[in-house]
Amino acid sequence: MNYQETLEFLYSKLPVFETQGAHAYKPGLERCETMDQLLGHPHRRFRSIHVAGTNGKGSCSHTLASILQEAGYKVGLFTSPHLLDYDERIRINGTPISHQYVVDWVTDKYPLLAPQLPSFFELATMMAFCYFADQQVDVAVIEVGLGGRLDSTNIITPELCLITNISFDHMQFLGDTLPQIAAEKAGIMKKGIPCVIGECSDERVHFTFTSKAERMQTPLFFANEKHQVIWVRNQTDHLEYDTLSDGTLKSPLMGDCQPHNANSVLTCVHLLRERGFCISETHLHNGFRKVLKNTHLRGRWEILQQKNPCIIADTGHNEGCFQYLGPQLRHIAESGSQLHIVFGMVSDKDIASVLKTLPISATYYFCNAPTPRALPASELATMAQPFGLTGNTYPSIDTAFDAARQAARTTDTIFVGGSNFIVCEVLKRFPE
């Protein structure tokens, strides 16, 4: 098999959450613990950092990886889902996993692991751990897939844990209250391993974390109480952060949520230094400034085209994301620039909570991605009407985006979002 045939084989054989949703969700660590044993415990051959949370995992994981890379470490990075190609999930110093390694690993290891009936994500986790071990990385940043306590990545014993924030998403698996969701995310805490909580404004969530940390004897640090970021300036193509002890940092990650992520990352860096990581001020500054170049992160308030018209894409897909994206979009709509929104969502999200944040004055282009989880564009348009959001429906993302570009004047803005599936189709037109 070649690379594409290997991926098609895995998609056909394994449950894939991104396309099948709940049917593909296989919680629990037993399968991964058994597979890990069969593979010789590869994750024990490198240091790691574990990142969980409802939103911000990707931005924080990529920024931490960039900083460590600038510090001279050989850095593995495991994230999900991918946008354009499977190889995005597994990187070393920004370079995607070798396609030949994927082919050889599946050919060699799948017959050994198949009796465990793994999910697609579980097998990807095992592949990442083997790749990082085989390539002798110094440290790997490992992003949780879903939740934490029962996530397949939770077999690692990291140097540091980060839980970015808690908001409503995947309630059918994690619980329908914030404390229940927090308890699942807190499942990554390990005895004696420091854990950073990025954002926490809910007293019940705070109590959930502190109680868990006391039981686990986990040193706990609340980044939002330390306020490493003390001032933010929004420039044309980057954010500037005045910090408490690290000078002025610059980052090309532009969304309104990013100062919270930066604060979380800075708290983590200070703790990593205490644990023996050699990260200088220069490494820190370069890591923030070069995060996109070093890691190739995409889809976070990404400006695909500066003007004629301005085109922005963001993978935010739940209420927590749109508490930041909504005001940003309303600001654009109120600034005099006509806003065109190419929008679609999957059916298992809390869609009403997202729709209520969106600007009424924008023109909407409702569409649905080619996945069984997609909410049909006609249903989305109907759901949007009570919120005053109006527009036409389109049979595909391409036709919706083309219609928006045709309608937009040179001074207008087009926003693409609502789902990873929507964004990835448009990103194909805008290579790095």
User: 378: buried, middle or exposed (CB in 10 Å: 19+, 13-18, 0-12)?
Assistant: exposed
Asked whether the beta carbons of 335 and 361 are under 8 A apart, the reply is no
Among the residues of 135-257, which ranges form H helices? 171-174, 178-185, 203-216, 223-226
Residue-level pLDDT at 25: 55
- For the chain, percent helix, then strand, then coil, each to nearest 5? 45, 15, 35
Q: Which residues contact 213 (CB under 8 A, 6 or more apart)?
A: 186, 189, 195, 219, 220
Residue 177: pLDDT band by 50, 70, 90 thresholds? Answer: confident
Q: Give the least confident one: 10-24, 76-90, 119-133, 234-248.
A: 10-24
Q: Give the least confident one: 43-52, 199-208, 263-272, 384-393.
A: 199-208
Whether residue 21 is predicted with pLDDT greater than 50 in this model: the reply is no
Cα dist from 77 to 12, 60, 151, 296, 326, whole Å: 26, 11, 17, 11, 30
Q: Give the least confident one: 193-202, 377-386, 394-403.
A: 193-202
Helix (H) or strand (E) segment spanning residue 301: none
Q: Which residues contact 304 (CB under 8 A, 6 or more apart)?
A: 311, 312, 313, 416, 426, 427, 430
Whether residue 13 is predicted with pLDDT greater than 90 in this model: the reply is no
User: Model confidence over 100-119: pLDDT tens digits?
Assistant: 999 999 999 999 999 999 99
Among the residues of 80-146, which ranges form H helices? 99-113, 120-134
User: Any idea which residue has 């990385």 for tokens?
Assistant: 137
| Whole-angstrom distance, CA of residue 147 vs CA of residue 181 | 8
| Whole-angstrom distance, CA of residue 215 vs CA of residue 189 | 10
Residue 261: pLDDT band by 50, 70, 90 thresholds? Answer: very high
Whether residue 20 is predicted with pLDDT greater than 70 in this model: the reply is no
The mean pLDDT of the chain is 93
Q: Give the least confident one: 134-143, 263-272, 369-378.
A: 369-378
Neighbouring C-beta atoms of residue 214, cutoff 10 Å: 10
Q: Record the tokens describing residue 224, joined without a space.
A: 């939002």
Q: Record the tokens describing residue 248, joined without a space.
A: 């002025």
Whether residue 19 is predicted with pLDDT greater than 60 in this model: the reply is no
Q: Mean per-residue pLDDT for 154-159? A: 97
Domains in the chain, CATH or no CATH each: 3-295 (3.40.1190.10), 302-427 (3.90.190.20)
Whether residue 83 is predicted with pLDDT greater than 60 in this model: the reply is yes
| Whole-angstrom distance, CA of residue 311 vs CA of residue 331 | 15
User: Any idea which residue has 């045939």 for tokens?
Assistant: 5
E strand spans, 229-360: 229-234, 239-243, 248-251, 302-305, 310-314, 339-343
Residue-level pLDDT at 176: 66
Cis peptide before 194 (omega within 30 of 0): no
User: Any idea which residue has 């924080």 for tokens?
Assistant: 60
Residue-level pLDDT at 266: 98
User: In angstroms, what is the C-alpha Rg of the chain?
Assistant: 21
